Structure 1
Amino acid sequence: MKYLIILEPTDTGYSAYSPDLDGCVAAGDSRDETIALMQEAIEFHLEGLALEGLPVPLPHAEAATVEVNA
């Protein structure tokens, strides 16, 4: 499955979250590190849901950008 993650720069690196997985977050020193940590976090999150007998949310979020005159 492919889950959308949102990356945001911070004062100390990057943070990330997935709109499809409440509470699943990661933070790292670089963009690449944060992506890798987020992949691990998603896998761990999904394993936890399965162990508790909870449904695994299907990916449904998508991204788009819009251009505006500023």
Structure 2
Amino acid sequence: MRQVVLYKDEDNYWIVECPSLKGCVSQGNTKEEALANIKEAITGYIAALEEDNLPIPEENLATPNLVW
């Protein structure tokens, strides 16, 4: 399981990022779509690392800092 950050951008799209996988970002018209898309992106990201015999970054489930 990977921690993700979900937020709405200025164009009303939902953006979702996986901080432990640098550059792993997706979006969707709804929260549900964005979350489904990031699951697919995470799976593809990890598969690409494995294919290239690169290490898979460990998840850091520390409590994120809150930003207002």
TM-score by length of 1: 0.83
| RMSD, aligned α-carbons | 1.5
Identity %: 26
List structure 1 segments (4+ residues) > 2 angstroms apart after TM superposition: 61-66
For residues 20 and 65 of structure 1, the distance between their equivalents in structure 2, rounded to whole angstroms, comes to 15
Structure 2 spans left out of the alignment, 5+ residues: none
Equivalenced residue count is 65
Higher relative contact order (CA 8 A, sep 6+): 1
Indicate the structure (1 or 2) with the bigger Cα radius of gyration: 1
Structure 1 spans left out of the alignment, 5+ residues: none
TM-score by length of 2: 0.85
State yes or no: 1:9 paired with 2:2.
Answer: no
